[in-house]
Amino acid sequence: MDKKIALVILEAYNRDVGTGVARVGSEVMKSIETSSNDVGELIGHRRTTAKLLQVYPHDEKKDIIRIDGLIRNNAGANIGDHIVIRKITSQRAEKVTVEALHPIPQIDERYLADALDTVPVTNGDNIMTFPILY
């Protein structure tokens, strides 16, 4: 059976911004049969993915999810909205096509591959990288 739960969106912890992480409580993880570092699907007006990690102790036992602006944008959701999450089985991409939203200096493909290596993405997602400028 497909286990899912609706949670209220709160702002991400500063350390998680740009990392593709969604933080939820341990009870939420149990209810959708997932654990830390599993990939979850987040369903707002659109669908996206994030790596699930536990919230800090002061946020436990709250029906919240902490995600950054990029994940919220990819899910078509805002702070205070409800979003549905569920565990999914992710697959490693064989090919990713990336298009810059703004003019940027040339980026080495290897750098981009490394930057995306641990960030779960879904077709049509916006991503953020921090290019090394020489």
**What ranges do the domains of the chain cover?**
1-127
Q: Quick one: pLDDT at residue 98?
A: 78
pLDDT value at position 18? 87
Exposed / middle / buried, residue 130 (Cβ in 10 Å: 0-12, 13-18, 19+): exposed
Q: Which of these CATH numbers, 3.30.300.30, 3.20.190.10, 2.40.40.20, 2.10.109.10, describes 1-127? A: 2.40.40.20
Would you say residue 73 has pLDDT above 80? Answer: yes
Contacts of 64 (CB under 8 A, 6+ apart): 7, 8, 9, 10, 24, 25, 55
Residue 95: per-residue pLDDT? 81
In this prediction, what percent of the chain has a pLDDT beyond 70? 95
Residue 87, pLDDT > 50, answer yes
Structure confidence at residue 104 as a pLDDT band (50, 70, 90)? confident
Q: What is the mean pLDDT of residues 33-42?
A: 94
- Reported as half-sphere exposure (CB side, CA atoms, 13 A), residue 28 has a value of 29
Is it the case that residue 134 has pLDDT exceeding 70?
A: no
In terms of Cβ atoms closer than 10 Å to its own Cβ (0-12, 13-18, 19+), residue 85 is buried
Instruction: Answer for the pair 54, 100: CB distance below 8 angstroms, yes or no.
Output: no
Check pLDDT > 80 for residue 31.
yes
Which pLDDT belongs to residue 51?
Answer: 95
